[in-house]
Amino acid sequence: MIREEFALSEWHGPFDAATQARALAALEKGQVLYFPGLAFPLGENEREFLDPALTDGKAKNISLNHTTGKLQGTSAAGEKAERLAAMIERFGAGATRLVEDLLPGYAGLERARTSYRPVEVEDRPYSVIQDDRLLHIDAFPSRPMQAGRRILRFFSNVAPSGSRCWEVGEPFEDFARRFAPRVKPHLPGQSWLFARLGVTRGQRSAYDETMLSLHDAAKRDSRYQKNAPHTALDFPPGSSWLVYTDQVLHAALKGEFALEQTFHLDIAKMAEPQRAPIKVLERLTGRRLA
């Protein structure tokens, strides 16, 4: 099963050891942890945020940097922007508490950006590389993961109606084996330059270059997109899910109004670091990637 279900309805523990162990093993194996009864409730005065016009029309998402409190990508201003930020912050804090209680071994994981995605996924125009309706693994051009730091994401569907519809693909190792021959060589000079110019926050490693290459190659391969193994996963309103998006091939086909919290984790904190994409890629290529 690609989706491992948990019957939670509260945004915190305590959780018994068996539940914690099941969550950890499933997540690191590349399954999606699914919380069908874990809804993020909107307050009465937050229902006005169920409005796609809340974005600034340029960015895909509205995002909150919780350390600075800075809200980006929204047309909302003043008091309305403050209330929007408070809603996104309440979600981010809740998701963080839940992940920490469910996965105690990940204590100290980095809470990165929190996003609100009010725009219908199906309708937006995208370039191929930006199109998350195509199967891909996540790799951020401007945020290097260097020695293989993980990208872990928690989502809630807050839409009043309509599922968020995903597809997930084949296991990471099968995908990597298929695309490895197409990975572009790492150019250390270019990584250094990008960091110097501020294009990237820190220097890209060979691992970062490899993951970006895999992301782009998968999206550009229309035969792969058509014929690759995939499983449909629907997340109804009022449900939440947690997934390593650097490992699980995924495509978001349809849905509006989702909240998302990104986390980063050093692979040393994993129960089974050998399952991390960097370790899989190093085994496959016989090269050190960081």
By the 8 A CB rule, do 30 and 172 touch? yes
Say how far apart CA 107 and CA 269 lie, in whole Å: 8
**Is 275 one of the binding residues for ligand SIN (CB under 6 A)?**
no
Identify what 204 binds: ligand SIN, Fe ion, none; CB under 5 to 8 Å per kind: none
CB of 243 to ligand SIN, least distance (A): 9
| Interface size with Fe ion, residues (CB under 5 A) | 1
Binding partner of residue 15 among ligand SIN, Fe ion, none, CB cut-off 5 to 8 Å per kind:
none
Partners of 111 in the β-ladder: 263
User: Distances from the Cα of 189 to the Cαs of 185, 195, 210, 211, in angstroms?
Assistant: 12, 10, 15, 18
Is 258 a binding residue for ligand SIN by CB under 6 A? The answer is yes
* DSSP states along 112-142: EEEEEE-S-GGG----GGG-TTS-B----TT
What is the C-alpha to C-alpha distance for residues 250 and 230, in angstroms, rounded to an integer? 9
- Confirm or reject binding of residue 132 to ligand SIN (CB under 6 A): yes
The answer to whether 216 contacts Fe ion (rule: CB under 5 A) is: no
> Which of these segments, 10-18, 143-151, 250-258, 271-279, binds ligand SIN (CB under 6 A)?
250-258
CB 154 within 8 A of CB 263: yes
Q: How far apart are alpha carbons 56 and 69 in whole angstroms?
A: 18
Report the site for ligand SIN in 61-120 (rule: CB under 6 A): 117
Task: Compute the least distance from the CB of residue 115 to ligand SIN, in Å.
Answer: 8
Edge-to-edge strands, sheet with 250-254: 231-235, 164-168, 250-254
Give the x/- contact pattern for ligand SIN in 148-187, rule: CB under 6 A: -------x--------x-----------------------
210 vs 185: CA distance, rounded Å: 8
Name residues contacting Fe ion, limited to 132-171 (CB under 5 A): 138
| Of residues 8 and 208, the one with the C-beta less far from Fe ion | 208
x-marked contacts with Fe ion along 75-94 as a string, rule CB under 5 A: --------------------
C-alpha to C-alpha distance for 205 and 147, rounded to whole angstroms? 7
Q: Which residues bind Fe ion (CB under 5 A)?
A: 138
Q: Which residues bind ligand SIN (CB under 6 A)?
A: 117, 132, 138, 155, 164, 245, 250, 252, 258
